[in-house]
Structure 1
Amino acid sequence: MSIGTQRKRHPRLLQLIRVGGGGETIETLAASLGVSPKTVRRDIRGLRQLGIPIQEHVCQNGRKTYRMSDDAIGQVRFTYDEAYSLLLCRPGFNGPSTNDFAGTLIGDASQSAFEKIRRALGETHEGSFQRIRPWLHRSSGHGDYRDQADVIDAITLGIEESNATSIAYRSARSTEPVTYDIHPYGLAEHNGALYVVGHSCHHNEIRTWKIDRMESAEVTELPFDRPADFSLSKHFEGAFAVITGNDPVTVRIRFRGSAARYAAERKINATQTETPGPGGSLDVSVRLTSTIEIKSYLLSFGASAEVIEPESLREEVTQELQQAITRYASAQASPSDQAGSATQRTTRKR
């Protein structure tokens, strides 16, 4: 059976090398994993780059075998406060629901590793962890990918092998999923949600897809060439969060009251600059390639945030606020209208 993704393959590869005791070759490892020798060589090279000491031994017949250094893991040492802090910050500290990858191989492996750290500190300290637990809280705004492990596997395999991947995707505006091929370039995380960045064969442009909205994903046998000049960090330079565009624009917002202090405390983009505004306000400027996401951010401040430029974004926010006022006014008028109708009906009966 083929172990197709790094997420599944690397732990198994390390286990095979460790248990093999120096007798494993590229060929035997490839056979055990159900992948090509080329894939195994690339995996070993990648693991070494991460600092994992996989040792290579050349036998008399020229055959190369691999083993793990016996004390490789033992060389990692934590001070007590480092280990203690890791446990307090670990995923799932406030419960399983706060672990974004609970139920997946990544989540299970991290929980196992943190459990080993906990045991190393000693059972006598368990009481102090229980005492501190109510003092800490982690926001529950995160995705749950336990039911989408197959989708994530397919996407990561498509990225690793540079193969087109067929997805069934339901966008925020559609009622039914649409199936088409994409060339996945990489994964991004924002507020606990996973996104895929790549080229859409259907739209003929680079797009971002939210994993939560993928109903299925399947790697095809069609290879693609990843652009040599593409990088995720460069791609997201002009994004407020994960949505990018093609036309950079300067967005200037005036924050008033407590919102001004909040805006000064938290940068929303690497290009952010701040200048004092009239009456104690704060003018914040950012350079973005899309204003879709920042519009929702601005609306969350209500009257405390005003768009100064561009005019197009100012008009969009104005329309949103006017529609909200109309909707609220309509809802408030409904009870009185209903009461008036009831009075009229009673009068006609008399």
Structure 2
Amino acid sequence: MSMGTQRKRHPQLLRLITLGRGDETIESLAASLGVSEKTVRRDIVGLRQLGIAIQEHVCQHGRKTYSLSRESIDQVRFTYDEAFSLMVCRAGTSDFDGTVIGDASRSAFEKIQVALGGNHDDYFRRISPWLHRSPGYGDYRDQADVIDAITLGIEDNKANSIVYLSARSTEPVSYDIHPYGLAEHNGALYVVGHSCYHGEIRTWKIDRMESAEVTEISFDRPADFNLSKHFSGAFAVIAGSEPVTVRIRFRGSATRYAAERKINATQTEAPGPGGSLDVSVRLTSTIEITRQHIMGGTV
């Protein structure tokens, strides 16, 4: 039986290699996972590219076995305060419960909690009422398959066929995309990539994807594409190609709010008339900033 997608196979593959103590072969791993030998070889290459030291041993008659380097595992350590801080931040992953992201986060936090020791359980329960995280956009359980398909497309450079209902449409549209990466903003998850339908790089909100399926069509991600660079000119999660300077005047109570946070790394501020504040930013898209009323500001 197939173990499902690559992301779901990886933990099981690593577990088999670890428990096998150097006796597992490509053939035995493929049989245990219910996939082809070619798939196992590809997964091993992918895990090695992530920095996981899977060792290959050549035995008698050319037989090859695999093991996991214990030294590399021992090097992946948190300091006590790092592990403690991560546990305090655990609530930040709740929006993705039931998805591949949430499942991986839960597993990681369980391991961190074990490493810290059971004597901290009472403390974490005691401080939880003192910590609050503003809720995001809700529950992604119903879109677990969509997120799974998108992440697999990103990992394997495979096009996704999506059914998408944009904010301005009344009917969903089907087309292929080349997913480059994921972005999170205010608790909502977005996909960034090339739209084969529009012929340009776009951003899609996961909440508006009715379905997503991985195709057999491969794509080449631009060598110079970088998510941080891509969003450097965005107000939030929509970037364009034509830089424009946007000036916003904040008045009243919005003045202090605007002074306390930055809209964009290019932001500059100057006092305006009557105690107002003029904020200037250099953006590559004004779609988001013109769609909303900005806390008493004037664009």
TM-score category of the 2 structures, normalised to the smaller one: 0.7 to 0.9
The reply on whether 1:103 has 2:98 as its aligned counterpart is: yes
Q: Which residue is 1:209 aligned to?
A: 204
- C-alpha distance in 2, partners of 1:21/1:269? 51
Which residue identity does 1:34 align to in structure 2?
V
Query: What is the one-letter code of the residue matched to 1:251?
Result: V
What is the CA-CA distance between 1:142 and the residue it aligns to?
A: 3.6
Match of 2:189 among 194, 200, 205: 194
Q: How does 1:104-253 map to 2 (within 5 A)?
A: 104-253=99-248
The structural deviation recorded for 1:225 is: 3.1
Aligned to 1:346: none
Letter in 2 for 1:55: Q
Correspondence 1:39-118 to 2 at 5 A: 39-48=42-51, 52-59=52-59, 61-70=61-70, 72-91=72-91, 99-118=94-113
1:151 aligns to what SS in structure 2?
helix
RMSD across aligned positions (CA): 2.7
SS in 1 for 2:177: strand
Distance, in Å, in 2 between the alignment partners of 1:284 and 1:184 is 34
**Quick one: structure 1 residues 119 and 201, their matched pair in 2 at CA, closer, same or farther if it must change by over 3 Å?**
closer
TM-score, structure 1 as length reference: 0.75
Report the Cα offset of residue 150 of structure 1: 1.3
Aligned partner (choices 282, 291, 297) of residue 287 of structure 1: 282
Q: Distance in 2 between matches of 1:107 and 1:153?
A: 11
| AA at the equivalent of 1:54 | I
Q: Match for residue 295 of structure 2? A: 301
Contact 1:29 1:40 in 2 (8 A): no
Between 1:39-48 and 1:163-172, the stretch displaced more is: 39-48
How far residue 90 of structure 1 moved from its aligned partner, in angstroms, is 0.9
**What is the distance in 2 between the residues matched to 1:112 and 1:184?**
26
Q: How far apart in 1 are the matches of 2:266 and 2:30?
A: 47
Contact 1:195–1:208 (CA under 8 A) maintained in structure 2:
yes
**Kept in 2: contact 1:208–1:242 (CA 8 A):** yes
Tell me the secondary structure at the aligned position of residue 232 of structure 2.
Answer: coil
CA deviations 1:219-276 (Å, max 9, x no partner) are: 2223333333333223222211111223221001122333222222211112112223
1:285 is displaced (CA, Å) by: 1.0
Aligned CA distance change for structure 1 residues 71 and 225 (closer, same or farther; 3 Å): closer
Tell me what 1:34 maps to.
Answer: 35
**1:7–1:106 contact (8 Å) kept in structure 2:** no
Instruction: Determine the structure 1 residue equivalent to 2:16.
Output: 16
Greater Cα offset, 143-152 or 60-69 = 60-69
Which SS does the other structure have where 2:240 is aligned? coil
Q: SS of the residue aligned with 1:55?
A: strand
* Residue type of the alignment partner of 1:20: G
Q: Distance in 1 between matches of 2:149 and 2:91?
A: 24
CA distance in 1, matches of 2:201, 2:224: 13
Give the direction of change, closer, same or farther, for the CA distance of 1:44–1:119 in structure 2 (3 Å limit): closer
Amino acid at match of 1:170: L
Distance in 1 separating the partners of 2:44 and 2:119: 45
Measured in 2, the distance between the counterparts of 1:5 and 1:240 equals 34
Q: Distance in 1 between matches of 2:134 and 2:98?
A: 19
Structure 2: gaps (5+ residues): none
Q: How far apart in 2 are the matches of 1:41 and 1:262?
A: 50
* Kept after mapping to 2: 8 A contact 1:185/1:226: yes
- Residue 2 and residue 187 in structure 1: after superposition, are their counterparts in 2 closer, same or farther (change >3 A)? farther
Residues 250 and 91 of structure 1: is their aligned pair in 2 closer, same or farther, counting only changes over 3 Å? same
The answer as to whether partners of 1:26 and 1:40 remain within 8 angstroms in 2 is no
SS in 2 for 1:236: helix
Distance (whole Å) between structure 1 residues aligned to residue 82 and residue 2 of structure 2: 38
Residue-by-residue CA offset, 1:278-302 (whole Å, 9 max, x unaligned) = 34332211111211212345x1412
Mapped to 2, the partners of 1:235 and 1:118 lie a distance apart of 36
Q: For structure 1, which runs of at least 5 residues remain unmatched after alignment?
A: 93-97, 308-350
2-side partners of 1:264 and 1:70: how far apart?
50
Taking every aligned residue pair, what percent have the same amino acid on both sides? 74
Count matched residues.
Answer: 296
- When residues 2 and 184 of structure 1 are mapped into structure 2, their CA distance, relative to the original with a 3 A threshold, is farther
> Is the 8 Å Cα contact of residues 168 and 177 (structure 1) preserved in structure 2?
yes
Cα pair 2:176 2:195 within 8 Å, conserved: yes
SS at match of 2:104: helix
Distance 1:229 1:5 in 2: 28
Q: Kindly indicate whether the alpha-carbon contact (under 8 Å) linking 2:271 and 2:277 is maintained by their aligned counterparts in 1.
A: yes
Query: In 2, are the aligned partners of 1:13 and 1:33 still within 8 Å (CA)?
Result: no
